[in-house]
Amino acid sequence: MRALLVANPAATTTSARTRDVLIHALASEMKLEAVTTEYRGHARDLGRQAAESEDIDLVVALGGDGTVNEVVNGLLHAGPNPEGLPRLAVVPGGSTNVFARALGLPNDAVEATGALLDALREGSERTVGMGIAAGTPGTEDEAVPTRWFTFCAGLGFDAGVVGRVEQQREQGKKSTHALYLRQVARQFLQEPNRRHGTITLERPGEEPVTDLVMSIICNTSPWTYLGNRPVYATPKASFDTGLDVLGLSRMSTVAAVRYSTQLLTSSPERGPHGKHALSLHDLDQFTLHSKAPLPLQMDGDHLGLRTSVTFTGVRRALRVIV
């Protein structure tokens, strides 16, 4: 087997020594080429080269969710072709590693590498669905490039939090759960649309849902983790179905406390619920329009402001080693 390892040197929880150990372990089982990313988008470029190559069987992403997202976008640049594309494997190296953990992999890079090698020996893999977001035709965002996401996207409040965290990290702050919680509080205090939402959700054959303050789109469950605690925004979301949506139409102080508590106490059986909570399951396609530009995030990466985004759930997009 010939494999390409894409390693992010800035990954939060893996040192250079750890990466060397993991590369040595993988190289003992396969013909391995290891490349360290050097710029934003490099992992995407490497994934695309692997997809266009005729002799790469496997791409291993060593890093956080951002690295995995770039690799996936490279592999899927010409569209899904599960049988014709290299398989994907993930060794978690970030602070949260939602995609890897949602697949059932250990959150420790060394343990995950051992699990990966066992899976390769046993031929254990699954074909998973992915989400894709694109600028909506006929709107000012129609020229925005399409982008795949592996586990979640968000338009509005949660994307604003992601943007704030990225700003803090650029200033040298470490990515910690405490950092995220502080930015949640700051985003809430400065959120201009928390009482009167600007988002409308449209889907074929259904009445539009208007005045949403925030919208979370999930391709799997859990939505994220706080330490070892999984957080379920849309408990029914799965790699085997379409996309799920959690929308909130009110974010007053009382509502924010209620839904935050429900998220923190969520389970695989129940997520946020109530008068101002919208939960939709297994959607193939829908569009979010906003009266005002709102921040967009995908897989924890802030992508700027958008007014209209069309989301599509693509079943059986990519083979993954598990």
pLDDT, one tens digit per residue, over 180-191 is 778 888 888 787
- pLDDT band at 226; cut points 50, 70, 90: confident
* pLDDT > 90? residue 192: no
pLDDT digits (tens, 9 = 90+) for 246-291: 999 988 888 888 999 999 999 999 999 999 999 999 999 999 999 9
In the predicted model, what is the mean pLDDT of residues 111-119?
95
- Whether 283 and 205 have beta carbons less than 8 Å apart is answered as no
pLDDT, residue 13, reads 81
Percent of the chain with pLDDT over 70: 99
The tokens describing 182, both together, are 């502080």
The predicted structure's pLDDT at residue 194: 67
Is the per-residue pLDDT at 306 higher than 70?
yes
Q: How far apart are CA 59 and CA 65, in angstroms?
A: 15
Residue 158: per-residue pLDDT: 87
- The reported pLDDT for the residue numbered 103 is 97
pLDDT (tens digit, 9 = 90+) per residue, 41-99? 999 999 999 999 989 999 999 999 999 999 999 999 999 999 999 999 999 998 889 99
* pTM of the entire predicted model: 0.93
d(CA 177, CA 180): 5
Instruction: Specify the pLDDT at position 171.
Output: 80
- The average confidence (pLDDT) of the chain is 93
Tens digit of pLDDT for each residue in 121-180? 999 999 999 999 999 999 999 999 999 999 999 999 888 888 888 788 778 787 677 777
Q: What is the pLDDT of residues 123-133, one digit of tens each?
A: 999 999 999 99
Per-residue pLDDT at 6 exceeds 80: yes
Please enumerate in sequence order all residues whose Cβ is within 8 A of that of 169, keeping only pairs 6 or more positions apart, or say none: 175
- pLDDT tens-place string over residues 202-223: 999 999 999 999 999 999 999 9
Whether 16 shows a pLDDT value over 90: the answer reads: no
